[in-house]
A and B are shown apart, each in its own frame.
Chain A
Amino acid sequence: MSVAISKRDYSLIGRDCKLAEEAGLASAEWYACPIPRKRLKELMQRRDGPAIRDTLLWFALLGLTGWLGWHFWGTWWCVPAFLVYGVLYCSCSDSRWHECGHRTAFKTTWMNDVVYEMASFMVLRESTPWRWSHTRHHTDTIIVGRDPEIAVPRPPDVPGILLGFFSLKSGPKEFKKVFLHCCGKLTAEEKTYIPELENGKVFWTARIWILIYAAVIAWAISIHSILPLMLVGLPSFYGAWLLVIFGLTQHAGLAENVLDHRLNCRTVYMNPVFRFVYWNMNYHLEHHMFPLVPYHALAALHQEMKADTPRPYHGLIEAYREIIPAILRQVKDPAYYVKRELPSSAKPFPTAIPTAQAAH
């Protein structure tokens, strides 16, 4: 679908932020599929077991592949070892960061918080700023000028997306922010979503990160090898590619400025290995609509909702058959987006509230 559009301002302190607020899109009420309270309560139940099992397996695989990479360093055998290690280190951390950030992965709060801090470091997202940025993402999902986590602003920056496969665009930006936070400062945009009383946590975490990176660099220099950095630091770059492949399926190419997650989120069926790496974030529509449901119950939640939601995608290939052409078309026609069709059994909801789309 394509409508008249002027150039959008994705900044959180710009024109489209004001337009979104005026149009009632900021902190608005969103559609929710009707699920009986009793069933929803069952789905929201927290458990430690699944996340402890998955986390122990994750750590074991990290340890094994890291050891193999170390052991075979200097031979070609270290390449596959670090390939897997990097994905486990960075791409796997994306989903752990996400689920533990919501504090739904484990029942026990401190377990969520410990894994969240570790995963934040490994995926190169400062824990406190990103907690608040993600809170805003849930308040104003893909609302232009309000959501700080729109992965593919229009017109899409295709070279930037490709650089993202190795964090070459976001990584340097994040390090710049780490240094800024180290000096006790926030960006103007961060000030719009991080409460002042969290500032100390932001600054001290950034300082700890710098100390860790300094220690690893010192270790590498002392042994005249980049091997320590292959284990800590560089995997945040060379292991990011799967995170991007998974992450783009969430919202890329779909509608902006709608108050219905059925129209701006994708659910993509994935195999068990991908679901382990992604911790069921492929049920993304379900997660956005009911963020209190833990990852291990999302497949069951999907069954409860699917009569009221668009058809899910049967795998990454089907999803990318839609995403790639949509992104390429948006380069030339930023007004274009993929309109998700609701099934005949679905309940309608007022959508397509314009801000920049029709306001200019």
Chain B
Amino acid sequence: MSEEWIKTCGVDDIEPEDVLRFDHGERTFAIYRSTDGKFFATDGLCTHQNVHLAGGFVMDNLIECPKHNGRFDFMTGKAKGAPVCVDLKTYPTKVEAGAVFICLG
């Protein structure tokens, strides 16, 4: 089965320890850059109440939802306590020619 890699943004479009929104068709994603310069991707909406995580706060490997302070580990998608209880879906990423790609499977 072939992998579908989608170009999301340039590596310089996201500061270290920050997040960016990426929309693709009817889907929306959050692209993260960690403090050590690695890129990660998750579904864009918080599993608690459909608020986009791109407006949130990145702290170490955590993304905090801008509405209710729910936290996820954006590297694993793991929900880190109330008010979020359901994990986020994560996607593989790669960097090629100065751009960040995510794999949608």
Question: A interface vs B, CB < 8 Å?
Answer: 27, 41, 44, 46, 102-104, 107, 109, 128, 131-132, 135, 138-139, 195, 197-198, 290-292
Inter-chain CB contacts under 8 Å: number: 39
Please report the C-alpha to C-alpha distance between residue A163 and residue B12 in the assembled complex, in whole angstroms. 58
List 7 tightest A-B contacts by C-beta distance, closest first.
A44-B57, A135-B83, A292-B57, A102-B69, A135-B68, A103-B69, A131-B82
Task: Establish whether residues B71 and A132, one from each chain, have CB atoms under 8 Å apart when the complex forms.
Answer: no
B56 on interface, CB distance cutoff 8 Å? yes
Taking a contact as CB atoms under 8 Å apart, the answer to whether A139 and B69 are in contact is no
**Can you give 30 contacting A-B residue pairs, CB < 8 Å?**
A27-B49, A27-B50, A41-B57, A44-B57, A46-B59, A102-B69, A103-B69, A103-B71, A104-B69, A109-B80, A128-B82, A131-B83, A132-B82, A135-B68, A135-B82, A138-B67, A138-B68, A139-B49, A139-B67, A197-B85, A198-B82, A198-B85, A291-B66, A291-B67, A291-B68, A291-B69, A292-B57, A292-B64, A292-B66, A292-B69
Interface membership of B43, Cβ < 8 A: no
User: What residue in chain A is nearest B50 (Cβ atoms)?
Assistant: A27
Q: Could you tell me which residues of chain B, from 39 to 71, have a CB within 8 Å of some CB in chain A? A: 49-50, 56-57, 59, 64, 66-69, 71
Alpha-carbon separation in the docked complex, A46 to B66 (Å): 14
Instruction: With CB as the reference atom, state the residue of chain A lying closest to B62.
Output: A109
Closest to A198 in B: B82
Further pairs besides A131-B82, A197-B85: 5, Cβ < 8 Å: A27-B50, A135-B82, A198-B82, A198-B85, A292-B66
- A27 CB contacts on chain B under 8 angstroms: 49-50
**Which residue of A has the minimal Cβ distance to B56?**
A292
Cβ of B83: which chain A residues have Cβ within 8 Å of it? 131-132, 135
Q: Kindly state the separation between the CA atoms of A44 and B50 in the bound complex, as whole angstroms.
A: 21
B18 interfacial by beta-carbon distance below 8 Å = yes
Most buried by A among B18, B59, B68, B71: B68
**Complex CA–CA separation, A345 to B66 (angstroms):** 25
What residues on A are CB-neighbors of B69 within 8 Å?
102-104, 291-292
In the complex, which residues of chain A have a beta carbon less than 8 angstroms from the beta carbon of B49? Answer: 27, 139
Report B24 CB to chain A, min CB distance, Å: 21
Closest CB in chain A relative to B90 CB, distance in Å:
21
Q: Which residue of A lies closest to B66 (CB)?
A: A292
**Which residues of chain A are near B67, meaning CB under 8 Å?**
138-139, 291
Q: State in angstroms the CA–CA spacing of A80 and B62 once bound together.
A: 46
Q: Which residues of B contact A138 (CB under 8 A)?
A: 67-68
Chain B residue with Cβ nearest A193:
B83
Taking CB as reference atom, which chain B residue is nearest A46? B59
> How many angstroms between the C-alpha atoms of A44 and B55 in the bound complex?
11
CB nearest to B82 among chain A residues: A131
The residue of chain A having its C-beta at the shortest distance from the C-beta of B59 within the complex is: A46
Q: Which residue of B49, B50, B83 has the most chain A CB atoms within 10 A of its CB atom? A: B83
Task: State the CA gap A198–B64 with chains docked (Å).
Answer: 20
Q: Which residues of A contact B71 (CB under 8 A)?
A: 103
**Residues of chain A contacted by B68 (CB below 8 angstroms):** 135, 138-139, 291
Cα-based distance from A195 to B79 in the complex (angstroms): 14
User: A291-B67, A291-B69, A292-B64 known; A41 and B82 CB under 8 Å?
Assistant: no
Give the distance in Å from the alpha carbon of A27 to the alpha carbon of B83 in the complex. 14
B59 / chain A contacts, CB cutoff of 8 Å:
46, 107
Q: Which residue of A lies closest to B70 (CB)?
A: A135
Quick one: which of B18, B69, B82 has the most chain A CB within 10 A?
B82
In the complex, A27 Cα to B66 Cα: how many Å?
A: 14
**Residue among A102, A109, A138, A292 with the most chain B CB within 10 A?**
A292
Given A135-B68, A292-B56, decide whether A41 and B85 contact each other with a Cβ distance below 8 A.
no
User: What's the Cα separation between A89 and B67 when bound, in Å?
Assistant: 29
Contacts of B50 in A (CB 8 A): 27
